Amino acid sequence: MTNAKLRTFSGIQPTGQLHLGNYLGAIRNWVQTQAKYDNYFCVVDLHAITAPHDPAELRAATRAVAALYLACGVDLDYATVFVQSHVPAHSQLAWLLMTQTPLNWLESMTQYKEKSLRQGENVGAGLLNYPALMAADILLYQPHGVPVGADQKEHIEVTRDLARRFNDRYGPTFRLPEPWIQPEGARVMSLTDGTKKMSKSDPSDLSRISLLDTPKEIEKKIKRAKTDPQLGLSLDLDRPESTNLLTIYALLTHQEPSQVAAEFATSGYGPFKARLSEAAINFLAPMQTRYRELTQEVGYLETVLKTGAERARVVAHQTLTIASHNLGLLPPT
Ligand code: AQP
């Protein structure tokens, strides 16, 4: 370790436009605590190619996700921002870990089961092996914590299991990281179905508010958001849409969900949705302005990502060297 701060690692796939779930479940938490930690934030493009994709769109999305990290407030004084494929140690350690991973661990992962169903026949081996690559991403940086949304808990658990198994067999190699999941915003739900998480890959664009949506798009999506027939909103397990919309409003306006629930306890969905649209538009506007500014500055993002990859490579290489040695691979001369 080069300094006394605890270390964090996290990443997001460039599989589409980032949405409020990605922001509230992950990036917001990175930004809130970044000054306390030595942070590594990665755009995980090697994960994005485990699903059918368009190469040009992937390149554009990779740049957009990196730019959004910065626009959302990730500060380069505290964080190393880089693209996963620019640090070859990710693929290299993934192979080493794959050789140590029982097949049934991979087959039982919820994400594999759900996404392989969606992909139908000819599911790629990359989708199955995704957890070994994700474990490599994390373990390379020897982080203490991995700030993520609730859906990633299972992946962090497998990462810990793999690290423990490797350490037991080959000697101390990896730190076992903790999932850092903030209860608020950990699972933002779809606007069209309050029982499903908001997701980049949901075929319906109406299901999510993307961070770069225009005010008109935000208004339209919130107007069309699913509701229930009851008058007045409440936080209630039996009312997933009401709970989700109230929680989003509370997080965007920096209030307690219970306070917001009390305010709208007798309100109809119409007036509430108007307030939610206004809150979302106002919340996203400064971030969208920063995004436009920094993507218009020629060469800025390239420099950030080049510097980030250089720094990440140094740390990643150290861990890869130890893991290779402990496994018995002959070092290059
Ligand atoms: N709905 C959500 N609520 C809270 N947090 C969420 N995250 C994702 N969706 C929500 C968190 O965002 C980070 C990045 O996720 P990812 O893109 O790597 O993969 P994902 O979790 O599978 O996100 P998506 O949007 O659903 O992507 P696709 O559709 O491509 O699979 C993670 O910290 C995640 O917890």
CA atoms of 116 and 129, how far apart (whole Å): 12
Tell me the pLDDT tens digit for each residue of 83-142: 999 999 999 999 999 999 999 999 999 888 888 888 787 788 999 999 999 999 999 999
Strands (E), the chain: 7-12, 38-43, 79-83, 145-147, 178-180
Task: Tell me what the mean pLDDT of segment 184-213 comes to.
Answer: 94
Neighbours of 171 (CB within 10 A): 11
Q: pLDDT grade, residue 186 (50/70/90)?
A: confident
Does residue 217 register a pLDDT over 90? yes
Please report the pLDDT score of residue 310 as a whole number: 98
Mean pLDDT calculated for residue range 190-219: 96
State in Å: Cα 18 to ligand 1 middle: 9
Q: Measured in angstroms, how far is the CA atom of residue 201 from the centroid of ligand 1?
A: 10
pLDDT band for 58, please (50, 70, 90 cuts): very high
Separation of alpha carbons 36 and 269, rounded Å: 40
Query: Pairing between strand 7-12 and 38-43?
Result: parallel
The percentage of the chain sitting over the pLDDT mark of 90, rounded to a whole number, equals 89
Q: Does 1 score more than 80 pLDDT? A: no
Q: Tell me what pLDDT residue 154 has.
A: 92
Q: Which residues pair with 42 in a beta bridge?
A: 11, 82
Architecture field, domain 205-293: Orthogonal Bundle (1.10)
Q: What is the pLDDT of residue 51?
A: 87
Q: Which residue has the higher pLDDT, 177 or 113?
A: 177
Please say whether the beta carbons of 1 and 141 come within 8 A. Answer: no
Q: What are the extents of the domains in the chain?
A: 6-181+298-327, 205-293
**2 pLDDT above the threshold of 70:** no
Give the pLDDT mean for 178-201.
93
Question: Contact, 74 vs 33, CB < 8 A?
Answer: no
CATH 3.40.50.620 applies to domain 6-181+298-327:
yes
Quick check: 210 and 287 in contact, CB under 8 A? no
What residues does 295 pair with on adjacent strands? none
Does ligand 1 lie within 6 Å of residue 201's CB atom? yes
Q: What is the pTM of this model?
A: 0.95
Task: Assess whether the C-beta atom of 18 lies below 6 angstroms from ligand 1.
Answer: no
Cα–Cα dist 312/25, whole Å: 24
Q: Which residues pair with 11 in a beta bridge?
A: 42
152 Cβ closer than 6 Å to some ligand 1 atom: yes
Encoded amino acid at 143, one letter: P
20 C-alpha to center of ligand 1: Å? 10
Q: The sheet that has 145-147: what strands, in order across it?
A: 79-83, 38-43, 7-12, 145-147, 178-180
pLDDT category at 3 given cuts 50, 70, 90 is low
Burial-class residue 51 by CB neighbours within 10 Å (0-12, 13-18, 19+).
Answer: middle
Q: Ligand 1, atom 12: nearest CA belongs to which residue?
A: 22
